[in-house]
Amino acid sequence: MKIEPILKQNVKPIWCDGCGLYILESALAQVFTEQGYNQKNTVIVSGIGCSARISGYFGCDGIHTTHGRAIPVAEAIKIVRPELNIIVISGDGDLLGIGLNHLLHSSRRDSNITVICNRNEIYGMTGGQTASTTPKGAKTSTAPIGTYDNPVDTKPYIVGNEKHYYARTSITDLNHLKNAVTGGLNWNGFSYIEVISICPTNRGKMMGFANPAQMLMATKNLTQEGNKLYQLEIDYNDNIKTQ
């Protein structure tokens, strides 16, 4: 069988102009191609949302599951077809809100899948509602005077497992993003890659950005300012002590 380009050539994404997902999609397409991931050996599973649409734009087999349920579906595929590469790509509302419990259990079980989360800090597709990742104080369509709660920090959940692969990366640093994903794909066991991203339409406008470029630059600055939720890092450990 002739291997086609990993991205479908005849399908146009539904994403808004300036959406961070265009950068993520193209970086992932490059890494998948470099790593020999193709339509024959890879399945991409996603939940629901703008980020989750990505599974439909790759030429691989894929499943667009119900909201929050991508991880258990991915695990099930891995169990019956262990020879395939199983990758979850979805949004933060999907993976870290409605489906967060699955992330905890899949990582503690060390399921041999890779999970990539597009962290745009809101429920983008449905109009920019506060999500579990929205920073405290941030104005959103459902919190016009500011979000009350603290945002979720996934790092302790993942690195709390003795064997772990955790990366926090950003669409504003392509080299770091590609390294983080490459490491996760080659990890034997559960790997999690969180990608700091932007939604200019439903979050950027609430933040007062005039255009996507302004939001991208501000996000790049955030990754350089020392706030732990925006720190780019790759943290892994496979030294398993015997009992």
Ligand X SMILES: Cc1ncc(C[n+]2csc(CCOP(=O)(O)OP(=O)(O)O)c2C)c(N)n1
Task: Based on the shown chain and the rule CB under 6 A, indicate whether residue 178 belongs to the binding site for ligand X.
Answer: no
Task: Based on the shown chain and the rule CB under 6 A, indicate whether residue 99 belongs to the binding site for ligand X.
Answer: no
Total of chain residues touching ligand X, rule CB under 6 A: 17
Footprint (CB under 6 A) of ligand X, residues 5-44: none
Residue 126 contact, options ligand X, Mg ion, none, Cβ 5-8 Å cut-off depending on partner type: ligand X
Residue 59 contact, options ligand X, Mg ion, none, Cβ 5-8 Å cut-off depending on partner type: none
Task: Based on the shown chain and the rule CB under 6 A, indicate whether residue 111 belongs to the binding site for ligand X.
Answer: no
The 3-state secondary structure of the chain reads CCCCCCECCCCCCCCCCCCHHHHHHHHHHHHHHHCCCCCCCEEEEECCCCHHHHHHCECCEEEECCCCCHHHHHHHHHHHCCCCEEEEEEEHHHHHHHCHHHHHHHHHCCCCCEEEEEECCEECCCCCEECCCCCCCCCECCECCCCCCCCCCCHHHHHCCCCEEEEEEECCCHHHHHHHHHHHHCCCCCEEEEEECCCHHHHHCCCCCCCHHHHHHHHHHHCCCCCHHHCCEEEEECCCCCC
Task: Based on the shown chain and the rule CB under 6 A, indicate whether residue 94 belongs to the binding site for ligand X.
Answer: yes
Residue 154 contact, options Mg ion, ligand X, none, Cβ 5-8 Å cut-off depending on partner type: none
Q: Shortest Cβ distance from residue 233 to ligand X (Å)?
A: 22
Nearer Cβ to Mg ion (6/21): 21
Residues that bind ligand X (CB under 6 A): 48-51, 67, 91-94, 118, 120, 122-126, 131
